[in-house]
Amino acid sequence: MIIPTRRSSLFDEMDRLFNDWSPMSTTLESGEFSPFCELEEDEDHFLVHMDIPGLKKEDVKIELRDNMLMISGERKRETRGNLKRRGESWERSYGVFSKTFSLPTSVEADKVEAKYENGVLELYLPKAQSAKARRIEIKSGQGGFFDRLLEATKVATGEKKAEKAEKAEKAEGRSTEDRAS
């Protein structure tokens, strides 16, 4: 006969306290399943590795929306029929899980690959061309954006100066007329 040992409630509370502090903890008492995972970033792609043993690939859902990667699924508890048992104890966790990652750059969604083997889900997420770093050449005096911007500023400044001069002439003409009358 299997009889699980029970510690005092003080120890249970301490365990619960420390489990709650861990961002990747699995809370066994509530039946939550929180698989461990790793996310790697390389120059041109992301790799995700998630430990989800005991699941079928049909039990896992992967979505990519904007820069958000969502992986969810459920590990169901196996039932062994209506056997008469003398006792039971389990340490595995079961239930629904959901992990969401905010990716810092865009991903080419049509080129994402997923593989599930030996209880490990692996995802390959290639970065979009626009998200990849590129070297920028420094130009000087070649009619680029800054030259056009400078020219537009000069034109606008020249037009403003002309408007000010025109207003000043009109104002001066009025004050001359006012003095003459």
Tokens of 118: 């030996």
Cβ neighbors of 44 (< 8 A, separation 6 or more) are: 126, 127, 132
State pLDDT tens for residues 110-130: 899 999 999 999 999 998 887
State pLDDT tens for residues 120-161: 999 999 988 876 677 877 777 666 777 777 777 777 777 667
Out of 7-16, 146-155, 168-177, give the one with best mean pLDDT: 146-155
Neighbours of 50 (CB within 10 A): 21
Q: What is the pLDDT, as a whole number, of residue 113?
A: 93
Q: What is the pLDDT, as a whole number, of residue 84?
A: 64
pLDDT top residue among 85 and 71? 71
11, amino acid identity = F
The CA distance from 6 to 24, in Å, is: 25
CB of 74 closer than 8 Å to CB of 54 = no
Among left, alpha and beta (phi > 0; psi -120 to 50; other), residue 81 is left
User: For the chain, give me the number of helices (H) and strands (E)?
Assistant: 2, 7
Q: What is the pLDDT, as a whole number, of residue 63?
A: 93
The CA distance from 158 to 3, in Å, is: 92
The verdict on pTM exceeding 0.75 is no
Res. 90: pLDDT tops 50:
yes
Mean pLDDT of all residues in 6-10: 52
Res. 44: pLDDT tops 80:
yes
